[in-house]
A and B are shown apart, each in its own frame.
Chain A
Amino acid sequence: MRSLFGPRPLLPGFRLSLGCAVLYLSLLVLLPLSGLVFKASQLSLAAFWEIASGERALASYRVTFGASLLAASINTVFGLIVAWVLVRYSFPGKRLIDALVDLPFALPTAVAGITLATLYAGNGWIGRYLEPLGFKIAFAPPGIVVALTFIGLPFVVRTLQPVIEDIEPEVEEAAASLGASRLQTFVRVLWPALLPALLTGFTLAFSRSIGEYGSVIFIAGNMPLISEITPLLIISKLEQYDVVGATALAVVMLFISFVMLFVVNGLQWWAATRHGARAADGALR
């Protein structure tokens, strides 16, 4: 697609569509975000810092970003396997499983949270076997990871599927016929093609997890300093009618997320260009 823009930057409708895109993004993203920053800027720097670096706030960043990272990593590994299986093999019930992947998108998050809490509680279908072994999932930090893993799964799978579909089996066959071992084929041929999409999927799942409130709240246990996520502290501020304080925490989250996304995007760019130098990859991007 991108190559189309190369020789003919003035494709018909360029200005109109760019205008639409900018307006749309401004209304939906830029305006609320600048409102947020504007509201938070009512605080003095000292007051802002006090809210942003409070003991509870710091603990909640650790919980939120730690659990999100872990959940996104789990999803990256298992999402890759799911996507691979769904694209490369055919088996009975494949369409059903394919549809199941989207379920976390559609399910109201509160429903997901309550269901997961019931499953992983001490008397739940799963919790009853894990708790005697010493694994406390529901109402403890691992519960947060479980909820975030659930909501993040479709992002990785749906990002990877089209990319895997684009990798022709012939490419692997060619590698094999040129004498590459299976491991070499994976590391040198498949991995470079998958990496950018894998990073995108990771990023999407990660950013979705950071802001998640509805499902986590029912499984976390919400103990101060242990299992409080930052969105809960924001709600707590709102409960005190402290809108400005709430926006201060939101701005901190936004900033940390932005930095992390920036780093991941940088990695992605690096991965794409490094392998983009090789001819095969350009087509896949």
Chain B
Amino acid sequence: MSRFIRQWCATLALGLCALPVLAELSLLNVSYDVARDFYKDYNPMFQKHWKALSGESVELKQSHAGSSKQVRAVADGLEADVVTMNQASDVDFLAEKGLVAKDYAKRFPNNASPYTSTMVFIVRKGNPKAIRDWPDLVKPGVQVILPHPKNTGNGRYTYLAAWGFALGQSGGNERTAQEFVARLLQNAPLFAAGGRDATTTFMQRRIGDVLVSFESEAELIAREFGKGEFTVVYPSLSILTEFPVAIVNPVVDKKGTRKLAQAYLEYLWSPAGQENAAQNYLRPRSPEILKKYAEQFPPVRTFTVDEVFGGWSKAFPAHFKDGGSFDQIYLKK
């Protein structure tokens, strides 16, 4: 018995000695939900790269969940070295709290977003309702499936995409845009709990005529349900969705991992990192790699949240805060 305890104490002591060493070489990436596949491929690539560069092996830890949940956890003290998110408003929140640099979007190229995506329509085989563009989504008798526009990132991008499209029409203004979006929402029989739930509702429960989702989701649907089951339709104008990354300053300063964190995020822009994005059906920023995968990414006219809405810091309160344009559509007081 006492031998057992002694052994156990020895193990514990060894473990404690090893802990700081291990901690120096580990990096926690706190990320949004569906980035799992991307980083599962990316992390081993970076480990190899870092080993070749510095001779150190590094342990990479991932955490995935809904992005605003993740950001709240980081604000509450989850020790993330880096955050990789799917919406600037979430990183803005950390900037406000002083956890990431105020100008985080300028610390890396391309608005600190190593890849992009866009919102597309997914329609049933053969496109029976002849859906080609946004106006087809507001026609009577067409059912549109989307996640909750107020509570999910996916839904918010859909909402802004439709709004931006309506604004861009001749004679388009805030009022006509809101009317257009209101008509679109009237065609929604439900608001799904999240992106994947919307996909299940559309593909498996066969509810609705069109699903609005990320371009990158379409490939996943193909893998799950078969390519012939649906058609992807690119609208004439859509929104460019950006995925900002940032270093969490207090954490890397405390852990001494700034160089590692910087390299980890920079490597996303390397040819290998960009190629990985393309393979995960996210549009790479590098023109060469984009060209290489041109078949997968047909050209599409897009606008950014910054261009049309003046950034998420303006778009979020105007549309998704309580009393914003979404609430106005439903609460006619």
Contact = CB atoms under 8 A, between A and B. Distances in A.
B189 A221 contact: yes
A241 B93 contact: yes
Given A236-B150, A239-B68, A222 B331 contact: no
B206 A217 contact: no
B331 A56 contact: yes
A123 B205 contact: yes
Nearest to A121: B205
A122 B197 contact: no
A122 B331 contact: no
Contacts of A169: none
B327 interface: yes
Contact of A238 (B68, B188, B197): B68
B320 interface: yes
Given A55-B331, A122-B207, A241-B72, A139 B151 contact: no
A223 B322 contact: no
B197 A218 contact: yes
A245 interface: yes
Interface string B12-54: 0000000000000000000000000000000000000000000
Nearest to B200: A114
Contacts of A138: 205
Interface string B143-183: 00000101100000000000000000000000000000000
B206 A122 contact: yes
B321 interface: yes
Interface residues of A, number: 30
B267 interface: no
B4 interface: no
Given A236-B151, A239-B151, A240-B322, A221 B190 contact: yes
A225 B330 contact: yes
A167 interface: no
A245 B321 CA distance: 11
Contacts of A241: 68, 72, 93
B319 to A, nearest CB: 11
Interface in B288-333: 316, 320-322, 327, 330-331, 333
A139 B207 contact: yes
A238 B321 CA distance: 11
B189 A123 contact: no
A125 to B, nearest CB: 12
A31 interface: no
Contacts of B331: 55-56, 224-225
B72 A238 contact: yes
A240 B326 CA distance: 13
A114 B333 CA distance: 34
Nearest to B188: A223
Contacts of A218: 193, 197
A117 B150 CA distance: 22
A222 B147 CA distance: 10
A13 B322 CA distance: 53
B186 to A, nearest CB: 11
B205 A221 contact: no
A217 B152 CA distance: 13
B204 interface: yes
A118 interface: yes
B205 A56 contact: no
A235 B150 CA distance: 10
Interface in A228-250: 232, 235-242, 245
Interface in B193-210: 193, 197, 200-201, 204-207
B104 interface: no
A185 B316 CA distance: 64
A94 B265 CA distance: 59
A223 B149 CA distance: 11
With most chain B CB atoms within 10 A of its CB, the pick from A51, A117, A236, A239 is A239
Contacts of B200: 114, 118
Nearest to A241: B93
A108 B333 CA distance: 39
Contacts of A56: 327, 330-331
A6 to B, nearest CB: 45
A139 B204 CA distance: 15
B191 interface: yes
A235 B197 CA distance: 17
With most chain B CB atoms within 10 A of its CB, the pick from A51, A124, A223 is A223
Nearest to A140: B190
Interface in B65-114: 68, 72, 93
Contact of A217 (B193, B204, B321): B193
B333 A55 contact: yes
A235 B321 CA distance: 12
A232 B151 contact: yes
A54 interface: yes
Contacts of B320: 239-240
Query: When A and B form their complex, which 9 residue pairs have the shortest distance between CB atoms, in order from nearest?
Result: A221-B190, A121-B205, A139-B190, A224-B330, A222-B191, A217-B193, A55-B331, A236-B151, A239-B151
19 contacts: A56-B330, A114-B197, A117-B201, A118-B205, A122-B207, A123-B205, A123-B206, A124-B205, A139-B189, A221-B191, A222-B190, A223-B190, A224-B327, A225-B330, A232-B151, A236-B150, A239-B68, A240-B321, A242-B322
Given A218-B197, A222-B192, A237-B322, 6 more contacts: A55-B333, A56-B327, A56-B330, A124-B205, A223-B191, A240-B316
Interface of A: 51, 54-56, 114, 117-118, 121-124, 138-139, 217-218, 221-225, 232, 235-242, 245
